[in-house]
Structure formats: C-alpha cells, structure tokens
A and B are shown apart, each in its own frame.
Chain A
Amino acid sequence: MRTARVPVPLLLPAGLGLIFLLLPLAGLLARTPWSTLPARLAEPRVVEALRLSLLTSTLATVLCLVLGVPLAWMLARVSFPGRRLVRALITVPLVLPPVVGGIALLLALGRRGLAGQWLDATFGITLPFTTAGVVIAESFVALPFLVIAVEGALRGADSRFEEAAATLGSTRWTTFTHVTLPLVAPGIAAGAVLCWARALGEFGATITFAGNYPGITQTMPLAVYQTMESGDLEGAVVLSLILLVVSVAILAGLRDRWLTAP
C-alpha cells in the first residue's frame, strides 16, 4: 500500500470531524462515576430498561427486514408508475422530527386514529402504551435506513445473475431467495445494523406514541431522560454509557461474524 502524504485540505477537516464526533463522548466519559457503574447495572429498573431496549430494537429490526427488503426489491427491480414518488415518501420519517412521527403514529394507529380505531373496534387491539407500540415507533423511524441501504445494494448488484438463474429454470421467487438475497446479504446486514442502531437510540417517537412506563414501554433512552429529569445527571450519564457499551459490544461482535464481505 502506498503511504503518500495526505493533503492538508483533507487531513484538517477529517481530523476536526473526528474530534467533533468524539469530544461529546469524552465529555460523557469525563463525568462518569466509574465506581457506581456496576451498582447501577444491577438496578432492576436499569436491567428492565436495557432488556426492553434490546428486545424492542431487535424486534423492530426483524419487522423492518420483513417489510423493508421486499419494499427495497420493488423499488430496485420493478418499474411501476409513481416509483420516484414512493422513493421520496419513504424518506419522510428521516426528516420528520421523531416527536412529530410519534404524533403521526397516534393519529394513524392510536385509539382514535385512522387505522387504530378500526383495529380497536375489530380486534380489540390498541397499540399505544404497549411494548408492541414501542416496536412500531422504532420501526417507523428505522425502516427508511434499511430500505435505502438494501435498495442501494440491490442496484449495485448485477441483475444479470438473476437472468442467469432464470435460464436455469429458477422462478422469480426462488431467484430472489437463492440468488438475489445471498448476493446482497452484506448490504442487508449493513442496513439491518443501521436500522437496529437507530431503533436502539429511538426516543421521541417512542415516548410520544408508546408512552413511558417501566417494564412495558420505558426503553433505555427514556430511562436516561427520566433520570436526567429527576436531577440525577450522573445517573443519566451512567445509563447512557451502559447503552453505549452494550451496543458497541454487540456491533463489534457482529462485525467479526458476518458483517465482513464474503
């Protein structure tokens, strides 16, 4: 590999960018009361919130995969009228403030919402203030990340492999499962990780749509916020750090396993 000198106009902003990202983290670490960290981890409230966070963000990722991969496939492989519009609409949750996303979800799936009303009347299902509601809120915010990543991977993949599969007698569905999916697996994995990370950190839509109740809807970010609200800044820092450490550990573990290119 060539170790040429890096041009200053690139090096300088790159370094500043890195510092910009790491400095707040250093701020957190500087204020961390390390001695109380293990005790905090043992608190039932924290364990509960952490368990709920990991559970809901994983379920949200599964939901996003089930809905998002086919959606990405449609956008990448099928030309239908209004495709550009659909692609633009998919990015709406990205630009919508999450709190507004939560209110939008209430208006759609809440007890008096467009679809929620019918869900309640027909099946007796109400989503707000339930763990399922947390999964819905997280999925809503995280789905665009998955769709965009997977669609990019599908566009980058050579669709002639799919033609080759067809000439070998493979139906479109078998081609999708046996050729397309394995080919874009790294892209799907990357999208799923982004999706999971976004779901794990989700706050605004969750607290608005699903509310905040320990053990049912209070995920780690909500617990962090509530701890800070009660004036316990140190506690909030510790909880944030726990969330950070757990997610980084999981991502690093996954990376070695299956995020590397085949």
Chain B
Amino acid sequence: MKTLRTVAAGLAALIAFGLAGCGGERTDNDTGDRAGTVTGPITVFAAASLTESFTTIGKQFEAAHPGTTVTFNFAGSSALATQINEGAPADVFASASPKNLAVVVDAGNSEGRPTTFVKNQLVIAVAKGNPKGVAGLAGLTEPDVKVALCAEAVPCGAAAKAAIEAAGVKVTPVTLEQDVKAALAKVKLGEVDAALVYRTDAKAAAADVDAVEFPESAKAINDYPIVALKNAKNGAGAQAFIAYVSSPEATKVLTEAGFQAP
C-alpha cells in the first residue's frame, strides 16, 4: 500500500510539473501590474551552461518574491534564439554569447537594452588525473590525443576557435558537438581525451574530469548577456528577474560556479 501511495504521489507531482511546464496556463492578466510587487510565472530561456547556477538563483528569487514561479528552458543559445524568434512564449533570454542574443535583438523581439551579467572562460577538460599529460593548447595537437570541440555555431565553439587561433596552433577535433555538455560527456565517457569547455562546466563535473587552465583563454572570454523579451507575458517579472541576476546573492552563486563578474 505504501509503495502505491508513493507512486501515486509521484504521478501527481509529475502531472503538476508537466502542467506547469506547459506555460499556457496564465489566466491572470494583471500579473505584476502593481508597482513594487511581482507575482505570477516567469519563463526564462537560458544557455545550457547556466543550468546549475540559474536553477539555484530561480529558487532564491522565488523565495525573495513570494507568489512567483520561475520556469527555465535550458538549451544551446542558438536553439533558444531560433525558438524565441519563432514565437516561443518566453519572458527573459540569457545567452552564452552576444552573437546569439543579437539574433533576437535584430529580429526586434527584445525589450530594452541587454546587459552583460557574467563572463565565462574556457578550460581544457581531461580525464581525471590527466593521463595524456595535456598542459596547454599545444597538447591538443598531439596525434594520440582525441579532441572534442563545440560546433562553431554555439558560443563555446566560437570561443574555442578564437582561443585556438590566438595560440597559433592547429587542432583537428574528432567531433564538433552541439553543446558544451555533450562535449564534456565525451570526456566523461572516455571517448575523447580532451575537450574545450567552460570553466563552469568543468567545475560542475569535477568528480569526473580535471580542468587544465591555459593562457589563451583570456583571448576568448565569453560575455553572457541577458535581456527581457518583447512578447513577455510578465514584463515586470522579467525586469525583476534580470535585476536579481546582478544582485550580490546571485553573483555569489554564479562566482561559486566558476563564472567571473563582468
């Protein structure tokens, strides 16, 4: 009986979660209209590299603003930009690079000016203990070192390209992954020996991978801009969330995750 009840509770939670995720449930049109108070659901589209820290920040925000619920959609920044331009219902867009944010701004789908809230830097993720002894970008050119990079279309790929060019080396990857998490997964599984990923991602996976810092990463620092969206259903909520992301509490979460303040 007990198991059954647990299952039922789990199912109920799942259904509630599913419904909340649908985002089509907003009936209160006066959400956040009154000055100073913010309520209702806020939908945030955020880059995959923000998954851990934004989830924490979202909870803090909800605690600070009772009556709000923050729903995230984490994916590659370029995919998010496409979704937003195709009319996806979002209030805030936090991108891992200005380029992808510009796609949304250029299409006229943003509201107000974007602000940069953090910066991120690349590291070389290698298997625990660094068995191949990779010391810097030059180490990635060794023939027995298999390398995964992000595809150029995604910010980590663009940053990797900039860093590699700055170092003046020629790296031939075996694969161009669609996002930073996929590149990291290949290192975790041992399929590649090294991958260029964000310091934050390497830090989140510290149990499985080691991070090797390299000087050229300073040449390819990634700005993370955030902006409110024109089609936002909860404009006040969007502004409040953007403001909160630059607050000391949120900055602490982000720095602990490995991000740098702008």
Residues of chain A at the chain B interface (Cβ within 8 Å): 103, 106-107, 110-112, 128-129, 207-208, 210-214, 217-218, 225-226, 228-231, 233
With CB as the reference atom, state the residue of chain A lying closest to B100: A231
Shortest distance between the CB of A120 and any CB in chain B (Å): 11
Task: Report chain B residues within 8 Å CB of A233.
Answer: 82, 85-86
Task: Report chain A residues within 8 Å CB of B86.
Answer: 233
Of B85, B175, B190, which one neighbours A111 at CB under 8 angstroms?
A: B190
Task: Report chain A residues within 8 Å CB of B177.
Answer: 211-212
Which of B86, B152, B175, B178 has the most chain A CB within a 10 Å cutoff? Answer: B175
With CB as the reference atom, state the residue of chain A lying closest to B190: A112
Shortest distance between the CB of A20 and any CB in chain B (Å): 20
Docked pose: A43 CA to B21 CA in angstroms: 40
Question: Is A211 a contact partner of B186 (Cβ separation < 8 A)?
Answer: yes
Residues of chain B at the chain A interface (Cβ within 8 Å): 76, 78-79, 81-82, 85-86, 100, 103, 146, 148, 151-154, 173-178, 182, 186, 189-192
Question: Is A207 a contact partner of B178 (Cβ separation < 8 A)?
Answer: yes
Docked pose: A226 CA to B176 CA in angstroms: 10
Question: Is B153 a contact partner of A226 (Cβ separation < 8 A)?
Answer: yes
Shortest distance between the CB of B254 and any CB in chain A (Å): 25
Question: Is B191 a contact partner of A230 (Cβ separation < 8 A)?
Answer: no
Question: Is B151 a contact partner of A229 (Cβ separation < 8 A)?
Answer: yes
Task: Report chain B residues within 8 Å CB of A225.
Answer: 178
Question: Is B190 a contact partner of A211 (Cβ separation < 8 A)?
Answer: no
Task: Report chain B residues within 8 Å CB of A214.
Answer: 176
Question: Is A112 a contact partner of B189 (Cβ separation < 8 A)?
Answer: yes
Instruction: Give me 6 other A-B pairs in contact (C-beta within 8 A), A129-B174, A207-B182, A228-B79 excluded.
Output: A110-B190, A129-B146, A211-B176, A213-B174, A230-B152, A231-B82
Of A129, A208, A210, A226, which one neighbours B151 at CB under 8 angstroms?
A: A226
Task: Report chain A residues within 8 Å CB of B78.
Answer: 228-231
Of A107, A211, A230, which one neighbours B153 at CB under 8 angstroms?
A: A230
A-B contact pairs, 13 of them (CB 8 A): A106-B189, A107-B189, A111-B190, A111-B191, A129-B174, A211-B175, A213-B174, A213-B176, A228-B78, A229-B76, A229-B151, A229-B154, A230-B78
Question: Is B103 a contact partner of A110 (Cβ separation < 8 A)?
Answer: no
Docked pose: A233 CA to B152 CA in angstroms: 16
Question: Is A110 a contact partner of B191 (Cβ separation < 8 A)?
Answer: yes
Shortest distance between the CB of A76 and any CB in chain B (Å): 37
Docked pose: A186 CA to B152 CA in angstroms: 45
Which of B76, B154, B190, B191 has the most chain A CB within a 10 Å cutoff? Answer: B191
With CB as the reference atom, state the residue of chain B lying closest to A210: B175
Task: Report chain B residues within 8 Å CB of A128.
Answer: 174, 191
Docked pose: A73 CA to B191 CA in angstroms: 36
With CB as the reference atom, state the residue of chain A lying closest to B99: A231
Question: Is A211 a contact partner of B82 (Cβ separation < 8 A)?
Answer: no
Task: Report chain B residues within 8 Å CB of A111.
Answer: 190-191
Task: Report chain B residues within 8 Å CB of A207.
Answer: 178, 182
Question: Is A211 a contact partner of B189 (Cβ separation < 8 A)?
Answer: no
